[in-house]
Amino acid sequence: MTDDRLSALPRSEDLLLDSAGSSLIVTLNRPSRANALTEPMMDDLRSLWRTVAAAGWVRSVIVTGAGNAFCAGADAAMLAQPRTRIGRDAAEELSFVPGPHLDVPVIVAVNGVCAGGGLHFVADADLCIAAGTARFVDPHVTVGQVSGMEPVELMLKARRDVIVRMALLGRSETLDAARAKEAGLVSEVVPADILLAHATALGERIAEGSPEAVRATRAVIRDFEADLMRRQMDAGWKAVQDHWPHPDAQEGPRAFLEKRAPRWAGGD
């Protein structure tokens, strides 16, 4: 059945939109590329969140991924080229995630691999749940990039030692769903075949509360987190950009695309 409420929202082939009661379900839809982010896809997300913020019927937003992956982070083809647009600060750079645009809770349902920039959705979530098939990895250093922001925001969610291992060991340190829950990265692990149903059930339970009380409660929590992180996130974003002229920043993505070992600057 078609939900006429969705017709007012911007459409994109990279994003699938559906509804369940008062929840909007947004599915990242580049399954052939593990739902990796491109600049046009991030623009589509920003446009979507601006419109959703004015949609009075939405009481929660659920984000998940199409196919076997949640989000593989930035597309390696994008990383291998000079960036055409650069956020002035960390908040602007990460404006593709929904949380800062909305005053309703964001539920992230991680259905498969969540890597690199995909971790921003986890960090942004008000509630994050995972399927047993979920995997979490921060491969930045493995592809010659600085992991300057993900560790900062994730350390408010999970144990420091787990996040530091992910950041420094790169692709060789992958958390399965059980370890992610143990570390506090996700709050629940459920079977893959009921992940979305469980996320929508959480949305329905949120909708049972006073909309204004939920909004104000969420705002207090998110303002607290933002105040703790703002300076460190901006410093991390600067560290990411400062590394871009280094040859490793281009060599890592090229090696990944060419399926070979990287030749780091100064290496043998």
Tens of each residue's pLDDT in the chain, 268 residues? 468 899 999 999 999 999 999 999 999 999 999 999 999 999 999 999 999 999 999 999 999 999 999 999 998 788 777 777 899 999 999 999 999 999 999 999 999 999 999 999 999 999 999 999 999 999 999 999 999 999 999 999 999 999 999 999 999 999 999 999 999 999 999 999 999 999 999 999 999 999 999 999 999 999 999 999 999 999 999 999 999 999 999 999 999 999 999 999 975 5
- In angstroms, the CA 68 to CA 146 distance is 27
| Residue whose tokens read 């379900």 | 25
Q: How long is the chain?
A: 268
Q: The domain spanning residue 120 has which CATH number?
A: 3.90.226.10
In a domain, 66, yes or no: yes
pTM of the model as a whole: 0.95
Number of domains within the chain: 1
Predicted pLDDT at 56: 92
CB 14 within 8 A of CB 49: no
Predicted pLDDT at 83: 76
CB 152 within 8 A of CB 229: yes
Predicted pLDDT at 267: 59
Report residue 184: phi and psi, to 5°: 95, 5
- CA distances (Å), 181 to each of 26, 128, 134, 185, 189, in order? 23, 10, 11, 6, 7
Q: Which domain holds residue 93?
A: 4-194
- In angstroms, the CA 189 to CA 110 distance is 9
Kindly state the DSSP code that residue 263 receives in the 8-state scheme: -
In a domain, 203, yes or no: no
HSE, side-chain direction, 13 A CA sphere, residue 230: 7
In a domain, 189, yes or no: yes
Alpha helices per DSSP H over 18-144: 39-53, 76-79, 90-93, 119-124
In a domain, 112, yes or no: yes
